[in-house]
Amino acid sequence: MSASAWRLTDDGPVPESGPEQPVRSGSTARRMLVVAAIVVLSLVGAGGFAVAGGAAALLPERPEGCDQPDRSVQLYAVELPRDGNQIRLGYGLTPETASYPGPTMEMIEGECLAVTLHNQVPAETLEQLRTDPTHPLGVSLHVHGVKYTQLSDGTAQSFSYVPPGQSRTYTWYAKKRDRTAGTAGTAGYWWYHDHVVGGPHGTKGIGSGLFGGLVVRRPGDLRPDRTYMTVFGDQQSINLRRGAAADTCDQENPQPGPTCIVAKKGERVEFIVVGIGNDMHTFHIHGHSWADTRTGVATGTNAEVDQIPTVDNKTLGPGDSFGVQIVAGDSVGPGHWMIHCHMQFHSDAGMYTTMHVLDENGNMPPGGDHDHSATSSGAASTSSGTAPAGSGATVHQHK
C-alpha cells in the first residue's frame, strides 16, 4: 500500500477555481474593507505601542519569578515531505531534524526557558493552509501548563507569532508550587503547538504536524530511560499516522522515533500522551499498567497507594495531556505490546501502534518475529467506498 493511502484529512487547500468562487467574488469589496480595517487596526495597535515606548513597555516580557532565562533553545518550523497530498510541517532543534511530533522539551520546576522559534515554512505553503485571506501568515509557539505572558502566547490576536523568514523568542516559566499562596506548581506532562497556521486557533498547523511534548519535572522525580510521545488525533491517527504507518520499526535494527517505540526489558519508559483534533480517545497499553498520578508512579505505604487508581486505560479528550511511566516488560517479558485507542471503531480503523520490548541484550527472543505485511482484506476495505479515506489499515500480524 502506498504512503498516499494514509492521507488523514480530506480538507486540502481549496483551489481558487473551486465552486465557492462566485460567492467569494461577490464579497470582494466587503472583504477588502475588512482587510483595510485590520491593516488600520494593526497600524494603530503598533503605533500605540510605539508611542508608549514599545510593546515591552506595556506588556511584561517574562512571567513574575523569571528575571532571566536559565537556558535557551533554538526551534525551527519547517515544511516536511508531503504525505500524499497532505502538507506536513514539523518543529525541530535543527531544520534537518524536524519531525512530527516535534522534539520533547524538558524543564525542571523553577526553571525559565527561552525558546527562539525560526519560521522556515515557505509563505506559499502557509497561504495554501490559510482558511481566511485576512488572517496573517506565520507560525507560532503556544504552550500548555507553564507560565508565559501575552508576548509569548503565540496567537495572532496578541501579535505573538512569527512571519515567514523571521524569528521570535518565547519565554516559558515552570513555576514551582507555592504552599503559602496555595498555588499549584507546573510539574506535569504538557504540550506545545502552533496557534496561527490556517486560522486563529492553529487548526491547520496542529493538523499538519506542528506540535510536541513538554515534561516539567520536580527535582526528585524518577528519570525515564526513554520518552515517547503518542498524539491521538482525528481520523484514527497516532502522531498523524495509522495502521502500519504508525509503526515502522526496523526488525533488525530498530531506531527509536515517532514511528518506532522500542525499549529493552527493565527500562523505564515514559509516554507523553496528548489528544488533538475533535474526537475523544482512550490510551491503552497491553501488559503494562501505571499509577494514575502526575508521574505515573505511586510511592508510600500500601494504604497510601491504595488511594491511587492503578490503570491500563485512560480517557483522552482534545487538548488533554498526561504522562505514563512503566517498566518495559516488567514481569511480562519481551514481545510486541500493543498500544491502541480502545474506542473499538477507532482501533479497527488503524488507531494502534506497538511497543517493541527487547530482551536485556537488545534482541527479540526467538518466536517474537514480527510481520508487517499487508493483507488483501485491508486493501479491500479501502476500496469499499464506505470507509473514510485511508481507513483500510494493513493488518499488523503477530506470529
Interacting residues with Cu ion (CB under 5 A):
281, 341, 343, 346
Place of cell 473499538: 344
Question: Measured from the CB of residue 283, what is the shortest distance to Cu ion in angstroms?
Answer: 9
Nearer residue to Cu ion within complex by CB, 121 or 339 = 339
Note if the bond before 15 is cis, omega within 30 degrees: no
Q: For residues 264 and 281, which CB has a smaller minimum distance to Cu ion in the complex?
A: 281
Closer CB to Cu ion, 118 or 346, in the complex? 346
Q: Cell numbers at residue 304, please?
A: 497510601
Q: Give the nearest distance from C-beta 322 to Cu ion in angstroms.
A: 15
Q: Which is nearer to Cu ion, 172 or 322 (CB)?
A: 322
Closer to Cu ion by CB, 221 or 234: give it.
Answer: 234
Q: Which is nearer to Cu ion, 85 or 313 (CB)?
A: 313
| Minimum separation from the CB atom of position 240 to Cu ion (A) | 14
Rounded Cα–Cα distance for residues 78 and 26 (Å): 36
Give the Cα-Cα-Cα angle 54, 121, 41 (nearest 5 degrees): 35
Nearer to Cu ion, 88 or 281 (CB): 281
**Cell numbers at residue 330, please?**
516488567
Q: Nearest 5°: CA angle at 57, between 54 and 61?
A: 100
Nearest alpha carbon to residue 376 among 387, 392, 390: 392
CB of 296 to Cu ion, least distance (A): 20
Length of the chain: 399
Give the shortest CB-351-to-Cu ion separation in angstroms. Answer: 5
Angle among Cα 220, 269, 308 to the nearest 5 degrees reads 65
Residue 82 main-chain phi, psi, to 5 deg = -70, 155
Nearest approach, Cβ of residue 316 and Cu ion (Å): 8
CB of 194 to Cu ion, least distance (A): 23
Q: Is 270 left (phi over 0), alpha (psi -120 to 50) or beta?
A: beta
Q: Which of 55, 306, 103 is nearest to 214 (CA)?
A: 103
